[in-house]
Structure 1
Amino acid sequence: MTKKKEHRYTLEEEIAPHIDPRWSEEFILELRLTGVSGKQIGAALAEADSHCAESGESAEEAFGAPAVYARSLDLPVQSEDRSLSRGPLPTVVKLTGMLMLVWAVSSFVQDQPASIRLGGMLSLVLLAGLVVFTMRSAEAVLRLAVQRTGLVILANVLVVATVVLLSWFLRQELFYVPSVLLMTVGAAALVAGTLWEFVMLRNRPAASGDLLISPLEGHEAAARRGAALGWAEYAQVFLLPAATGVIVLLLILVG
Structure 2
Amino acid sequence: MNLSDRTGFGSVDTYTRLAPSVDRDWIEQFVLEQRLLGVPGPRIGDSLVVVESHVSESGESALTAFGEPRAYAAEDAPEQPRQSPHRIDPGWGIALVLGLFGMLLTTFSAQAAFAGESALAVTVGHLVLLAIAAASLALLLFASHVPLRMIAQHPVRSWVGWIVLLVVMVGALLLLPQQVGEVSIGVASAIGVALLAAGFLLQLRAFLGGRVQDDPIVGPGEQPESPRAGLVTVFVFPVATALMIGFSWVLQQIPGMF
Q: TM-score band (shorter)? A: 0.7 to 0.9
Following TM superposition, by how much is the alpha carbon of 1:111 offset from its aligned partner in structure 2, in angstroms?
Answer: 5.4
Distance 1:54 1:237 in 2: 44
- Gap change, CA 1:100 and 1:203, over 3 Å in 2: same
Higher mean C-alpha displacement, 124-133 vs 104-113: 104-113
The answer for unaligned runs of 5 or more in structure 1 is none
- Residue type of the partner of 1:247? M
Please tell me whether residue 176 in structure 1 is matched to residue 182 in structure 2. yes
Amino acid corresponding to residue 48 of structure 1 in structure 2: V
- Percent of residue pairs bearing the same amino acid type: 25
Contact 1:115 1:173 in 2 (8 A): yes
Q: What pairs up with 1:70-89 in 2 under 5 angstroms?
A: 70-75=73-78, 76-78=80-82, 80=84, 82=87, 85-86=90-91, 88-89=93-94
TM-score, L = length of structure 2: 0.83
* Unaligned segments of structure 2, at least 5 residues: 6-10, 254-258
The separation in 2 between residues aligned to 1:40 and 1:218, in whole angstroms, is 12
Q: Distance in 2 between matches of 1:106 and 1:56?
A: 61
Once the two structures are overlaid, the 10-residue window that deviates more, 50-59 or 38-47, is 50-59
Q: What code does the residue aligned with 2:218 have?
A: I
- Aligned-pair CA distance for 1:14: 1.0
**Equivalence map 1:20-169=2 (5 Å):** 20-75=23-78, 76-78=80-82, 80=84, 82=87, 85-86=90-91, 88-109=93-114, 110=116, 112-169=118-175
Aligned AA (1:104): S
- CA offset digits 1:169-225 (Å, max 9, x no partner): 2111111211101001001111211222222222235846x321111x544xx3xxx
Give the Cα separation in 2 of the matches to 1:106 and 1:21.
46
Change beyond 3 A, Cα 1:178–1:193: same
- Counterpart amino acid of residue 152 in structure 1: S
TM-fit CA distance, 1:97: 0.7
SS in 2 for 1:176: strand
AA in 2 matched with 1:95? L
2:192 counterpart of 1:195: no
Cα 1:248–1:74 change in 2 (3 A) is closer
Cα deviations across residues 101-120 of structure 1 (Å, max 9, x unaligned)?
A: 12211333425021111110
d(CA) in 1 for partners of 2:198, 2:31? 35
Tell me if structure 2 keeps the 8 A contact 1:88–1:136: no
Are the equivalent residues in 1 in contact too, given 2:66–2:72 (CA < 8 A)?
A: yes
| Aligned-residue offset at 1:157 | 1.3
Tell me the distance in 2 between the aligned counterparts of 1:48 and 1:36. 16
Distance 1:77 1:141 in 2: 20
- Per-residue deviation at 1:68? 0.9
Give, in whole Å, the separation in 2 of the partners of 1:83 and 1:49.
33
Question: 1:236 & 1:55 partners in 2: Cα distance?
Answer: 43
Instruction: Provide the C-alpha distance between the structure 2 equivalents of 1:43 and 1:206, rounded to a whole number of angstroms.
Output: 23
